Amino acid sequence: MRHLAYVAPPLEIGLSMIIHTLANARVGLIGNPSDGYFGKTISLTIKNFWAQVTLWESPTVQILPHPVYDPLEFDSLESLESVAVRDGYYGGQRLLFAACKRFAEYCRTHGITLDRRGFTISYDTNIPRQVGLAGSSAIVTAAVKALMRFYDIGEREIPKAVLPNLILSVESEELGIAAGLQDRVIQVYGGMVYMDFARDLMEGRGYGEYVPLDPELLPGRLFLAYTEKPSDSGVIHSDVRFRFRQGDPEVVSAMREFARLADEAREALEMRDARRLGELMNANFDLRRQTFGDAALGAQNLEMIGIARALGVPSKFPGSGGAVIGLFSTDEEGRALHQAYTERGYRFVEAKPAPADEGSHREPNPEERGVPARALPVGHRGRIQITREER
- Give which of 323, 331, 328, 294 is closest to 311, Cα–Cα: 328
Q: Which residues are catalytic?
A: 183
User: What string of H, E and C letters represents the secondary structure of the chain?
Assistant: CCEECCCCCCCCCCHHHEEEEEEEEEEEEECCCHHHHCCEEEEEEEEEEEEEEEEEEECCCEECCCCCCCCCCCCCHHHHHHHHHHHCCCCCHHHHHHHHHHHHHHHHHCCCCCCCCEEEEEEEECCCCCCCCCHHHHHHHHHHHHHHHHCCCCCCCCCCCCHHHHHHHHHHHHCCCCCCCHHHHHHHHCCEEEEECCHHHHHHCCCCEEEEECHHHCCCEEEEEECCCCCCHHHHHHHHHHHHHCCCHHHHHHHHHHHHHHHHHHHHHHCCCHHHHHHHHHHHHHHHHHHHCHHHHCHHHHHHHHHHHHCCCCEECCCCCCEEEEEECCHHHHHHHHHHHHHCCCEEEEECECCHHHHCCCCCCHHHHCCCCCCCCCCCCCCCCCCEECC
